[in-house]
Amino acid sequence: MKRKPSTEATAAWIRLMRVQSRVLDAVEQDLKKAGFPPLAWYDALLELSRAPSGEMRPVELEKQMLIPQYSTSRLIDRLVDEGLAARRECKIDKRGQFVEITEAGRELQKKMWTAYSAAIEKHIGSKLSDADAAKLSGLLDRLGCSCGEAQMQAARDGAPAR
């Protein structure tokens, strides 16, 4: 008798959920213990630092990070409050704005990458050969309909999450 989702598919689903939640928790905890803000901040800072002249529109950030609009808005609030980014007026579209990363923001991003990369190594790298990691990536890609294009470039100096 054939079941609708095969046992294999269901098992994969369960693991995808459980393993990512465990690994994410572990990494977030490592960062927190090292005294850093949550991963989402890192992601935002990384995106900003990569943007030409260190600034981008909130809408762009939103698309890159795959988070809801209001969430982006408030994330930016917090970054600005902490002096990690600044809002700039957008001359070509007065509804909008630019968000520019500050020096402090760039520094934090770099510092975080130390702890962050160590965590990735600890929780992923050390448990999987490069070949297996690549296999895993390949399989995941088939589910996610791509993680965008820039992923290999991403891995160059900082990995965006979520």
Nearer to a copy of itself, 97 or 117 (CB): 117
Asked if residue 7 binds a copy of itself (CB under 8 A), the reply is yes
Contact 120, 27 (CB under 8 A): yes
Residue 85, judged by CB atoms within 10 A of its CB (0-12, 13-18, 19+), counts as: buried
Per-residue binder mask for DNA (CB under 7 A), 100-139, x = binder: ----------------------------------------
Residues in the chain: 162
Query: Of 45-53, 90-98, 102-110, 145-153, which part binds a copy of itself (CB under 8 A)?
Result: 145-153
Interface residue with a copy of itself among 85, 93, 120, 149 (CB under 8 A) is: 120
Q: Which helix (H) or strand (E) holds 97?
A: strand 97-101
Among the listed residues 99, 15, 83, the one whose alpha carbon sits nearest the alpha carbon of residue 49? 99
Taking CB under 7 A as the binding criterion, the range among 14-22, 66-74, 106-114, 139-147 that sits at the site for DNA is 66-74
Confirm or reject binding of residue 38 to a copy of itself (CB under 8 A): no
Cα separation, 51 vs 91, whole angstroms: 18
The C-alpha atoms of residue 42 and residue 109 are separated, in whole angstroms, by 6
Residue placing its CB nearer to a copy of itself in the complex, 59 or 66: 66
Q: How far is the CB of 36 from a copy of itself (least distance, A)?
A: 17
CB 95 within 8 A of CB 105: no
Chain residues in the site for a copy of itself (CB under 8 A): 3-24, 66, 117-118, 120-121, 123-125, 127-128, 130-137, 139-145, 147, 151-152, 154-156, 159-162
